[in-house]
Amino acid sequence: MDRKSRPAPNSNRVISDQLAVLPSRLTPGRLREILLRGSIWFIFIGIFLIFSALASNFFTFSNLINILFHSAPLGVMAIGESVCLLCGKFDLSVGSIAALCGSIAGWLMVTGQPAASGLGLHPALAIPVILLVGILAGLFNGVCVGKLGMNPLLTTLATMFTFRGLALIVTSGHTLYGFPKWYRIWGGGSIGFIPIAVVIMVCLYFIFYFVLTKKRFGRHVYATGGNAFAAEACGVRVDRVIVTAYILSGILAATAGILSSGRLNAAHSRGGEGMELQAVAAAVIGGISLRGGRGSLINTIAGVLALTTIDSGLVILGVPSFWVQAVSGIVIFIAILFDTIKTRLTHVE
């Protein structure tokens, strides 16, 4: 049979072959790779045990719930960041999108304050508007990066400042507070002793894990990040995948803004500041490669919990707040270094 008469390869099968991670038999090299993939859980446990030894009131039920409670907004934001990273792209605007959406929430629902609209919208009407803002912000990023081919790092850096400025305009530089009860419950309410925000975060992780591992879109995401040219040759609409990834990142950042402002019962233009880098760090130390195409969303939650545990532990130990920011920077550096070392180790024959 000559080359012209050979049937074209099935694109889904080609992409699935690219994503196969488990061989027929477990070799020492593959065992090392599996351990490296799940190493963040050992790191998280180690961090937790260290703080438990240093502070007697750290390993308590109330503090465990508190860690989960405070990890929810970052955890939700890290899902969208992970999807973008798996595509081989960045989204540095997620923190600003969260701030903008929280500010718009306050502007729409809060009454009796100079910076508010006075509309006093019910949360059932305001929340869809807030999520729509997140979708539009993500769509703008996605079109610029996916359709126009603009640099994702510089593009989302520019929109980070733009969305932050819009949040400042919406609030006129003020803090809006006093949200309705039915809005606060999403970020600050609980079912028994379990915070509703944690339930939302866990459900979103299961949904997106299922989509990324079992659905065609997930295969296309991994293929796009692994080799965009090969994926496009196999029939993947790479530009659409990238645009969709940024839209998902935008709506998840908006959700994080809802959870955060609802928990604090306040919104201001500086909300979510620095969370974009924490989201990147959580994804990377969770095993999502900065080069795209590799990593598991399940490990991202371990990265989120590790970062939140560090913040909580430093606060309990009475470490000054400016040290917390310095430690966050060191963690981000270590995350990038670890990703580089892990990439070299997993590619050693």
pLDDT > 90 fraction of the chain, expressed in percent and rounded:
53
CB 176 within 8 Å of CB 116: yes
Mean pLDDT along residues 83-109: 94
List the end-to-end C-alpha distance of the chain, in Å, as a whole number: 35
Give, to the nearest 10 degrees, the angle between helix 28-37 and helix 321-346: 160
What pLDDT score was predicted for residue 114? 84
Query: Sorting pLDDT into bands at 50, 70 and 90, what band is 331?
Result: confident
Q: What is the value of pTM for the model shown? A: 0.86
Query: Sorting pLDDT into bands at 50, 70 and 90, what band is 9?
Result: very low
What pLDDT score was predicted for residue 20? 47
What pLDDT score was predicted for residue 2? 44
Residue 13 has pLDDT above 80, yes or no: no
Helix (H) or strand (E) holding 178: none
Integer angstrom CA distances of residue 22 from 111, 259, 263, 298 = 57, 37, 42, 17
**CATH for the stretch 40-46+57-346:** 1.10.3470
Mean pLDDT along residues 113-127: 88
Q: Where are the domains of the chain?
A: 40-46+57-346
Burial 39-58 (b: 16+ CB within 10 A, else e): bbbebbeebbeebbeebeeb
Token couple for 98: 């969260």
Give the residue with greater pLDDT, 334 vs 262: 262
> What angle (nearest 5°) sits at the alpha carbon of residue 77, between those of residues 33 and 305?
55
Q: pLDDT, tens digit, for every residue of 129-187? A: 999 999 999 999 999 999 999 999 999 999 999 999 999 999 988 889 989 999 999 99
Q: pLDDT, tens digit, for every residue of 223-276? A: 999 999 999 998 999 999 999 999 999 999 999 999 999 999 999 888 888 899
Residue 318 has pLDDT above 70, yes or no: yes
